[in-house]
Amino acid sequence: MTRFSLTLEFDGTPFQGLQRQKHGSTIQQSLEQAIFDVTGEEAILHSAGRTDSGVHALAMRSHVDIAKDISPFRLAEALNAKLRPAPIAVTRCEIKPDDWHARFSCIGRSYIYKILNRRAPLTLDKKRAWHIRPDLDADAMQRAARSLVGLHDFTTFRSVHCQSESPVKTLDRLDIRREGEWVLVETAARSFLHHQVRSMVGCLALVGMGRWEENRIADALQARDRQELGLNAPPHGLYFVHADYPEEQDTMQEHI
């Protein structure tokens, strides 16, 4: 049995999220079916994170155990052929030790949320960004975001359906910048609560539109009350960017 690490890129628009669901197509279901078609094995896909319906990924890390004697290159090529025309691609495939786990070995996850801030409607980026017409003050959003960085109880920014044992998380980074018509929100942490990123972005957008004072973000955080949440940003602007693993950080350091 060989453990393969898969790096996945996908457009989440037509799916009910990454994790297998009772109803509707998911990324996991699509990959597991492709693996069965290639190997004849009923393998289970494990991933670094869970994404909601409509959320995208640039480099989601997953793993699967396969008994068939097949090289990483051949496996990736075969899976991509079976996945067509679904908007999912295996961009990298590697062999990992048996104790490596896409979820439990992961020590950091990062996301980017894309807002297209203009009057004109979306065309090419429809369902791939949040369209906000009023001008956003990205500098005010950045100042307000500072109160969220660090170790906090994020109950206000947590979905009522969140399955995490604790609402306490350490947010390592939350940066907002403007690039022309785009307002980009980048964030990183060891792990996130369900809807945490979308909830933070939604409230920060209210600051950017002038509907919330900057200090209201800190007040909402301190309230530890979901009722204080102002807005949950839609899923289609959110992208899973990267997953960090200790041994890969060591490899990166060797090449610096």
Question: Could you report the per-residue pLDDT of 96-150, keeping only the tens digit for each?
Answer: 999 999 999 999 999 999 999 999 999 999 999 999 999 999 999 999 999 999 9
- In the predicted model, is pLDDT for residue 164 greater than 90? no
**Active-site residue 52, yes or no?**
yes
Q: Please tell me the predicted confidence (pLDDT) of residue 250.
A: 54
Determine the residue type at 169.
K
Tokens of 75: 């496996």
Comparing C-alpha atoms, which of 146, 140, 37 is closest to residue 82?
37
Complete domains list, the chain, with CATH? 2-96 (3.30.70.580), 108-244 (3.30.70.660)
**Which ranges constitute the DSSP H helices of the chain?**
27-39, 72-83, 138-145, 196-208, 216-223, 246-254
Say which of 52, 65, 139, 225 is annotated catalytic.
Answer: 52
Q: Please tell me the predicted confidence (pLDDT) of residue 252.
A: 43
- In the predicted model, is pLDDT for residue 234 greater than 50? yes
Question: Could you report the per-residue pLDDT of 43-82, keeping only the tens digit for each?
Answer: 999 999 989 999 999 999 999 999 999 999 999 999 999 9
Q: Please tell me the predicted confidence (pLDDT) of residue 254.
A: 41
- In the predicted model, is pLDDT for residue 23 greater than 90? no
Torsion angle defined by CA atoms of residues 14, 112, 114 and 30, in that order, rounded to the nearest 10 degrees: -10
- In the predicted model, is pLDDT for residue 10 greater than 50? yes
Burial class (CB in 10 A: 0-12, 13-18, 19+), 132: middle
Q: Please tell me the predicted confidence (pLDDT) of residue 179.
A: 97
Contact 230, 203 (CB under 8 A): yes
| 216-239 average pLDDT score | 95
Share of the chain above pLDDT 70, in %: 97
Q: Whole-angstrom Cα distance, residue 133 to residue 148?
A: 25
Q: Would you place residue 253 in the very low, low, confident or very high pLDDT band (cuts 50, 70, 90)?
A: very low
